[in-house]
Amino acid sequence: MTRGMRALGGAALLMAVWALALLASVRWGAVGLSTAQVMQALLGEGPGTAVTIVRELRLPRALQASLVGAMLAASGATFQALLRNPLADPYVLGVSSGAAMGAVAALALGGPWAQPWTLPWAAFAGAVAALLLVLALASRAPSGWDARTVVLAGVGVSAFGGAVVLLLLSFVRDVETFRAAVLWTMGSLAAASWTSVAVLAAYAVPGLALLWAGGRALNALSLGEDTAAYLGVRVVAVQRTLAAVAALLAAAAVALSGVIGFVGLIVPHAARMLWGSEHRRLLPVAALLGATFLLLADLVARLAAAPGELPIGVVTALLGVPCFLWLVQRRARP
């Protein structure tokens, strides 16, 4: 009973922290608003500019930050368990830059593939291609993957994907190249709209639910494929399904917000430190923490260089790279 109460209390606390971060994100910006003004604007009252700022700009942006953070964090936690590798996340694995490649290629082709609802699938194709390439490079007989080779291959594919994206962008003349380049290499939430929030939610809700349903299988798989099989997991089918769902979540996030690194790496580790590694608890906790983390990172990105803004990937990388290097050296010297 007490364990159940503690979990419930923890969930309530995380929700409250996320809600506060959401409020902060809507209040602060180039124009500061009071909580009362925000509440009025949400109801459609008060000055028209405040209503527009809150309802059309800041709220969709804050919700997009939340969704993208949750998707990247859950995707990272899943990849870490599937590969039994604490260094895995969609960015390090090259999945994000593969997704960016797919999305930019679709945009360059134009037509039906460049619509907001279909763009995630183009990104997904790139993400899966990158993931398969990395896994093929790092596969080790008879089964499993070498942890260090996965990271090396992922970093290689990531760098290559980034270069291809910039190459493609340099041929596309009808977009504002520099802004687009920032979006596809460092991430940006500046283009958030209610449409993009709806698209993200359409991928996030079933995707996160599927990963959560696979939580017990992830527990088993994190102990090794043999152990998982002996506990009754259909190893290959479950691995493929969960990897595909995690890649799709990352791809949808990248398709609408660009490549935002290290969220999927550091958030699951923070969640594990707080709530342990049991994936049915870990996945929701990581998703909520990821949402909160990206809201705060976006707030920093908007406030630090106001009235301009930093690419959000710069903020997450400044926080994420030291964490990544710490994990690397801890792993090298156990």
Give residues in contact with other proteins (CB under 8 A).
Answer: 80-81, 84-86, 142, 213-214, 216-217, 219-220, 222-224, 226-227, 229-234, 272, 276-278
Closest distance to other proteins from the beta carbon of 222 (Å) = 5
Closest distance to other proteins from the beta carbon of 245 (Å) = 13
Residue closer to other proteins (CB basis): 118 or 278: 278
How far is it, in rounded angstroms, from Cα 200 to Cα 258? 13
DSSP-assigned beta bridge partners for residue 139: 145
Residue closer to other proteins (CB basis): 155 or 213: 213
Closest distance to other proteins from the beta carbon of 144 (Å) = 9
Closest distance to other proteins from the beta carbon of 244 (Å) = 16
Closest distance to other proteins from the beta carbon of 304 (Å) = 34
How far is it, in rounded angstroms, from Cα 89 to Cα 282? 15
Contact 304, 314 (CB under 8 A): no
DSSP-assigned beta bridge partners for residue 145: 139
Backbone angles phi, psi at 315, to 5 degrees: -65, -50
What does the CA dihedral 76, 95, 163, 259 come to, rounded to 10 degrees?
Answer: -50
Residue closer to other proteins (CB basis): 6 or 179: 6
How far is it, in rounded angstroms, from Cα 303 to Cα 43? 26
Structure tokens given for 274: 């707080």
- C-alpha distances (whole Å) from 181 to each of 71, 127, 245, 285 are 22, 18, 27, 32
Closest distance to other proteins from the beta carbon of 219 (Å) = 6
Amino acid at 60: P
Question: Nearest to residue 290, comparing CAs of 309, 272, 310, 263?
Answer: 263
Backbone angles phi, psi at 139, to 5 degrees: -70, 145
Residue closer to other proteins (CB basis): 269 or 302: 269
Residue closer to other proteins (CB basis): 106 or 217: 217
Backbone angles phi, psi at 191, to 5 degrees: -90, 10
Question: Nearest to residue 199, comparing CAs of 117, 107, 112?
Answer: 117
Residue closer to other proteins (CB basis): 103 or 267: 267
Closest distance to other proteins from the beta carbon of 118 (Å) = 29
Residue closer to other proteins (CB basis): 1 or 36: 1
Provide the residue count of the chain.
334
